[in-house]
Amino acid sequence: MAESVANGADQRPLEGIRVLDFTRVVAGPLATRMMADMGAEVIKIEPTDGDLSRTFPPRAPGDVNPYFSQQNAGKRFCSIDLRAAGAPELVRELIGRCDAVVENYRPGVMEKFGLGPDEMCALHPTLVYCSVTGFGQTGPWANRRAYAPVGHMESGYIDYSIRKTGARPSNPPLVVGDIVTAMSAAASVNAMLVKAARTGRGGHIDVCMVEAMVYIQEWSAVELAGGWEEPNAGLAHECPILVLPDGRVWAIAGNPAAWFNDAIKAMGRPELAVDPRFATSEARMANRYELYDEMTQWAAGFSDVEEFRRAIEAGTPFSVAEMRSITELAATDWAEDRGLFTEATSGFAVPARPALGSGIGTDGHVAARGADNREAIGGLLGLDNARLAELEAAGVLVAD
């Protein structure tokens, strides 16, 4: 580990771990943000043009916008031009003082500068080196460009969604592929750090978006086994969203077509059991939207979602949710009690942490590109002001 830490209840989970972060945009930055939230010291190294997500709207002074703040809170912000003479040597020194490296360049980029995983892990046997790409470091697709929509399409995620919903093909509005890749990377690095502490051997981790997407699709094995035959396909996830006449939007978790007897009991509509539209499992599946219409009319008679929840959850397996925006959720007593959001030093509210636990959460530090060069790099390597000035003059250390 980068430095020894004292035992104690107030010790953060990853306290004493130092991570060199060469990632940009979402998957890599979110992975290292999670590590920072757990107490790791994360030194973010940006290229000369900065992390692309700094330019996302709405723009902010120093290109420290809300999006960038969310993915990068709690890190130290440095910038090195790897193409400058002496830059790879400086990075090698930094790697020697770190426990982990996380990068999401295309395969071969870090090797071009003599900073690839084979060379770095050979020099530093305990080092954990994580590479994050779309299709992995090896194989016929290794050099394909991959963004989250590509991962969604190639992993079976969109195909499954279309077949189970009948909806027009479209990508989700959130970058699911990047998010699950981040979680895979963070979990894998943390696990490998445990191995390194136990055995003195780290190693290279090849995190691939498409692989992560396949792993989190809970029906992957079922699909490979032939899938579910109609009409049962999708029943487990067919949960109605009820749009009430006054504009309220509620959802029922649990499939009324599958749990039909519970549904009609809750509604007080026993006569629907002999309605030809709902008399068999096949009929209920074929006419499920008519059943949802019946439930919508029933739900419209409740004054609020809590009253509706009490009525439908009593003696049934169903649960109920009310559609909220993130802004509406942030204003709830639950969010306040949980401490769901915190203010970053950029002035923007960001999610406070991935989980509630002792020593988990961000300090909220966000800064302009290269703002922490002198403190983070100079302090770590013991460089005096004269040497730092030389590196700045040579274009090795850069800042906005």
**Catalytically active residues, by annotation:** 178
Residue 276 CA to residue 254 CA, distance in Å, equals 22
Residue 107 CA to residue 143 CA, distance in Å, equals 7
DSSP string, 159-192: HHHHHHH-PPP---SS-HHHHHHHHHHHHHHHHH
**Pair 98, 175: CB distance under 8 Å:** no
- Alpha helices (H) along 249-400: 260-267, 281-286, 288-299, 305-313, 326-330, 333-338, 379-381, 385-393
Residue 351 CA to residue 342 CA, distance in Å, equals 6
The strand pairing partners of 18, in sequence order, are: 41
Amino acid in position 241: I
Structure tokens at 80: 């090195």
Q: Which of the 8 DSSP states describes residue 265?
A: H
Q: Which of the 8 DSSP states describes residue 59?
A: P
| Long-range pairs of 111-116 with CB within 8 A, sequence gap ≥ 24 | 113/82, 113/87, 113/88, 114/88, 115/82, 115/88, 115/91
In sequence order, the 6+-apart residues with CB closer than 8 A to the CB of 168 are 162
